[in-house]
């Protein structure tokens, strides 16, 4: 999967440990990130705490995704049929290169040499903008943060807020210097007030929306039963793209299909509250094929594999495909908060990136990513579809270590330890038992509160690091003891 | 082999652990969540939740609706007001603005500075309006380009929560869920209202006359 057109891993990026230490040396970046992640975290807790059945909603969301993934072929065929019946045209793309080729060809057929784009992880993943540029087609990003990143020729650092690493002064500079190269220049005397910057973006993009003949979007979901596709957004740039142009091309990962229209009642509660911490995001658009006299009269849906079927084949790893890209796991992650998104060297940063990227490209191409975590479990607790990220991480660590060992042909205690850890993290019951055992056993072999090198197969794991002795009480049991009845229903 | 065959083949190979006779319904899907989180008068909760997004909410009865709309519109000093086909004629007041009706091209729509519509459903818990391009709402572009949107919602159109709304809506129509004016938090997570959609959203809730004699 080292496809030239793919952006899943950025070629030439340093490995996570090297990129992370560079990021850690940048205090401005750390301040921006801390402020941002703390703000979203608090909002998310308030929004999810408001619903006393949050756990039941998560359960339903996770179960729906499980059902979809176990019968994915059937749902995709049903979706193809319903979209076609409603007047849409369905395309299939096995990898990034195929998807890019399909889209470029569709744009060329319209006679247009430019497109407006709604923020979409799938099109970033396949490097669509670069591929279109090669085909002589200019792609304009219209989400404010994506616009900033595009004008700077930068890379996104967060799923939801791609310019989270930038402050207002930097954004103003970018607008003043770059907007003129892309179209309408920034207004005279532009200040760095967020309101003024947003107004500048409104003016800059307006002419593009009004003249665009073709739009490209991703999709948050597509309903197999009805053929309905949906985009969830805030700014209205999505509505512009989905409504004004004559042709709409939507690129969607095959895992985004949902069985029934009714399923939206779950995901439209889970997604906004987990993502921006709002009861509902400002705008959600849904469309079913084409509607005479309203919106694009030609609609193409490109179904993208690009490593998803390989992920599906791993029975432990496949749960990563349930991800609804809310970014809650990034915002609660202590590692992400300190390193930021660029260190992951992938369009998918943070905990979800650490488990999705290695699976999409093959673990041997992103070996250090499964180690970019402390296994604290905050991501699992936050995930609206209950993806057990620590479980998948340890599973992938075992794979990465095994791959490395196969190359070196030396046995490794680390691989064994990760295999054992996977078994334990799979079940909350086993985890509790193991933590208790570690609390007792670990204290017995610890000196000065630190476990030094161990004998036997664990030696190669412990000789590279000192493990703090486990505390007398695990965090989970302390929490349960001190907060027996949390009113929000959230177990944290 | 087409990409379609390739992908479907890969999926089937990937799912060897799924028993051949398993159907989707065999995968349990507990729906133990509530149908609604609204435990009070839905229109009252709706008003409160819409206002949380910094959209203005005004209430009227069927008798006073027209006068209230006139007041709201007059306060905006509009030049051109779009009124979609099928909007109740008895609710359209006279004013200093030019009334614009379909067919309108993009330039004309862009030049209009206000739009007056009905909606299909209101959702109380989330403070959401849903437009389905039905009578009084028009095609989606009508509520997108003008900078000011006044949306009239009847109290009986307001449901408690998201599940009731999804059950009421027809997915074959193009739907727009609107929760407050357009917004962005992309710059230092500072929320700014009004990016590309209408920067001002006002909502008029119309209750039946007998409730407020
Ligand atoms: S893994 Fe879960 S928490 Fe992270 S982005 Fe995906 S759905 Fe959200």
Q: In chain A, which residues have their Cβ closer than 8 Å to the Cβ of B184?
A: 144, 198, 234-235
* A208 contact partners, CB below 8 Å, separation of at least 6: A114, A116, A140, A142, A183
Burial of A484 (0-12, 13-18, 19+ CB in 10 A): exposed
Q: What is the pLDDT of residues B83-101, one digit of tens each?
A: 999 999 999 999 999 999 9
Query: What are the domain boundaries of chain B?
Result: 36-207
Q: Is the CB of A333 under 6 A from ligand 1?
A: no
Q: Is the CB of A29 under 6 A from ligand 1?
A: no
The answer to whether the CB of A72 falls within 8 A of the CB of A257 is yes
Least confident of A164-173, A449-458, B27-36: A449-458
Q: Is the CB of A258 under 6 A from ligand 1?
A: no
Q: In chain B, which residues have their Cβ closer than 8 Å to the Cβ of A331?
A: none
pLDDT of residue A408: 78
Residue A322 CA, closest ligand 1 atom number: 7
Reported as a pLDDT band with limits 50, 70 and 90, residue B194 is: confident
Q: How far apart are CA B213 and CA B211, in angstroms?
A: 6
Percent of chain A with pLDDT over 70: 81
Question: Nearest Cβ partner of B13 from A223, A287, A313?
Answer: A313
The answer to whether the CB of A212 falls within 8 A of the CB of A245 is yes
Query: What are the domain boundaries of chain A?
Result: 4-309, 416-482
Report whether pLDDT(A345) > 60. yes
Q: What is the pLDDT of residues A78-122, one digit of tens each?
A: 999 999 999 999 999 999 999 999 999 999 999 999 999 998 999
Strand-strand pairing, A247-253 and A298-304: parallel
Report whether pLDDT(B23) > 60. yes
Reported as a pLDDT band with limits 50, 70 and 90, residue B191 is: confident
pLDDT of residue A21: 78
Q: In chain A, which residues have their Cβ closer than 8 Å to the Cβ of B86?
A: none
Q: What's the mean per-residue pLDDT of chain A? A: 86
Reported as a pLDDT band with limits 50, 70 and 90, residue A474 is: low
pLDDT of residue A406: 83
pLDDT of residue A466: 41
Q: In chain A, which residues have their Cβ closer than 8 Å to the Cβ of B32?
A: 53, 56, 59-60
Least confident of A229-238, A334-343, B115-124: A334-343
Q: In chain B, which residues have their Cβ closer than 8 Å to the Cβ of A201?
A: 195
Average pLDDT over residues A439-461: 42
Are B195 and A168 inside 8 Å of each other by CB? no
Average pLDDT over residues A143-153: 93
The answer to whether the CB of B158 falls within 8 A of the CB of B122 is yes
Q: Is the CB of A323 under 6 A from ligand 1?
A: yes
B21 in contact with chain A, both atoms CB, cutoff 8 A: no
More confident residue, B84 or A19: B84
B111 in contact with chain A, both atoms CB, cutoff 8 A: no
Q: Which of A39, A166, A198, A306 is best to mutate for the B interface (most B CBs within 10 A)?
A: A198
The predicted complex's ipTM stands at: 0.96
User: A4-309 has which CATH code?
Assistant: 3.40.50.10420
Residue A325 CA, closest ligand 1 atom number: 5
Are B172 and A288 inside 8 Å of each other by CB? yes
Mind telling me how many Å the CA of B76 is from chain A's nearest CA? 20
Q: How far apart are CA B117 and CA B148, in angstroms?
A: 11
Q: Is the CB of A328 under 6 A from ligand 1?
A: yes
Closest residue CA from atom 8 of ligand 1: A326
Q: Is the dihedral of CA A48, A51, A52, A56 positive or negative?
A: negative
pLDDT of residue A463: 38
How far is the CA of A17 from the CAs of A27, A345, A468, B33, B185, in angstroms?
17, 11, 21, 42, 30
The CA radius of gyration of chain A, in Å to the nearest whole number, is 23
Mind telling me how many Å the CA of A474 is from chain B's nearest CA? 30
pLDDT of residue A427: 59
Report whether pLDDT(A211) > 50. yes
Question: What's the CATH architecture for B36-207?
Answer: 3-Layer(aba) Sandwich (3.40)
């Amino acid at each position: 999967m080292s496809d030239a057109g793919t952006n899943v891993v950025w070629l030439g990026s340093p490995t996570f440990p090297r990129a992370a230490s560079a990021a850690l040396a940048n205090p401005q970046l750390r301040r921006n990130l801390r402020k941002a992640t703390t703000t979203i975290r608090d909002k998310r807790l308030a929004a999810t705490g408001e619903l006393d059945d949050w756990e039941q909603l998560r359960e339903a969301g996770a179960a729906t995704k499980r059902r979809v993934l176990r019968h994915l072929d059937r749902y995709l065929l049903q979706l193809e049929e319903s979209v076609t019946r409603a007047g849409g045209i369905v395309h299939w793309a096995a990898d990034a290169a195929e998807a890019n080729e399909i889209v470029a060809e569709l744009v060329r057929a319209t006679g247009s040499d430019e497109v407006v784009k709604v923020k979409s992880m799938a099109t970033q993943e396949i490097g669509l903008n670069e591929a279109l540029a090669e085909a002589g087609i200019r792609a304009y990003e219209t989400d404010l943060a994506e616009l900033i990143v595009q004008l700077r020729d930068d890379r996104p650092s967060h799923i939801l807020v791609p310019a989270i690493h930038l402050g207002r002064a930097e954004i103003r500079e970018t607008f003043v210097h770059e907007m003129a190269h892309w179209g309408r220049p920034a207004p005279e005397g532009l200040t760095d007030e967020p309101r003024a910057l947003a107004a500048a973006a409104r003016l800059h993009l307006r002419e593009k929306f009004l003249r665009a003949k073709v739009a490209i979007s991703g999709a948050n979901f597509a309903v197999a039963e009805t053929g309905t596709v949906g985009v969830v957004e805030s700014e209205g740039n999505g509505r512009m793209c989905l409504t004004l142009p004559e042709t709409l091309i939507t690129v969607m990962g095959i895992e985004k299909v949902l069985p029934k229209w009714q399923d939206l009642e779950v995901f439209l509660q889970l997604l906004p509250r987990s993502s921006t911490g709002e009861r509902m995001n400002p705008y959600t658009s849904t469309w079913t094929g084409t509607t005479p006299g309203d919106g694009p009269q030609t609609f193409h849906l490109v179904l993208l594999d690009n490593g998803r079927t390989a992920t599906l084949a791993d029975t432990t790893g496949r749960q990563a495909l349930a991800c609804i890209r809310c970014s809650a796991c990034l915002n609660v992650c202590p590692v992400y908060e300190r390193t930021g998104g660029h260190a992951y060297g992938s369009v998918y940063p943070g905990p979800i990136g650490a488990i999705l990227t290695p699976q999409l490209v093959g673990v041997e191409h992103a070996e250090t990513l499964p180690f970019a975590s402390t296994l604290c479990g905050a991501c699992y607790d936050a995930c609206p579809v209950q993806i057990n990220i620590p479980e998948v991480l340890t599973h992938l660590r075992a794979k990465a270590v095994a791959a490395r060992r196969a190359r070196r042909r030396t046995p490794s205690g680390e691989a064994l330890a990760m295999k054992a850890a996977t078994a334990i993290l799979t079940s909350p019951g086993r985890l509790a038992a193991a933590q208790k055992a570690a609390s007792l056993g670990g204290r017995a072999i610890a000196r000065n509160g630190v476990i030094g090198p161990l004998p036997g197969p664990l030696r190669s794991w412990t000789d590279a690091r000192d493990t703090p002795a486990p505390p007398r009480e695990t965090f989970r049991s302390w929490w349960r003891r001190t907060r027996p009845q949390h009113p929000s229903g959230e177990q944290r | 082999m087409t990409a379609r065959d390739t992908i479907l083949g890969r999926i089937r190979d990937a799912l060897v652990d799924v028993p051949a006779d398993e159907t989707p319904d065999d995968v349990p899907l507990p729906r133990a969540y509530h149908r609604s989180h609204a435990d009070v008068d839905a229109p009252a909760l709706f008003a409160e939740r819409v206002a949380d997004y910094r959209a203005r909410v005004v209430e009227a009865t069927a008798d006073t609706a027209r006068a209230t709309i006139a007041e709201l519109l007059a306060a905006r000093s509009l030049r051109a007001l779009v009124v979609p086909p099928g909007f109740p004629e008895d609710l359209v007041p006279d004013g200093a603005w030019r009334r614009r009706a379909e067919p309108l091209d993009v330039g004309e729509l862009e030049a209009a500075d206000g739009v007056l519509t009905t909606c299909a459903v209101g959702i109380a818990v989330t403070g959401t309006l849903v437009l389905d391009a039905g009578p009084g709402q028009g095609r989606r572009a009508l509520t997108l380009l003008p900078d000011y949107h006044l949306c009239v919602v009847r109290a009986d159109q307001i449901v408690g929560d998201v599940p009731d709304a999804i059950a009421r809506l027809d997915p074959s129509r193009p739907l727009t869920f609107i929760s407050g004016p357009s917004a962005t938090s992309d710059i230092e997570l500072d929320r700014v209202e009004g990016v590309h959609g209408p920067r001002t959203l006002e909502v008029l809730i119309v209750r039946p006359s007998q409730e407020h004699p």
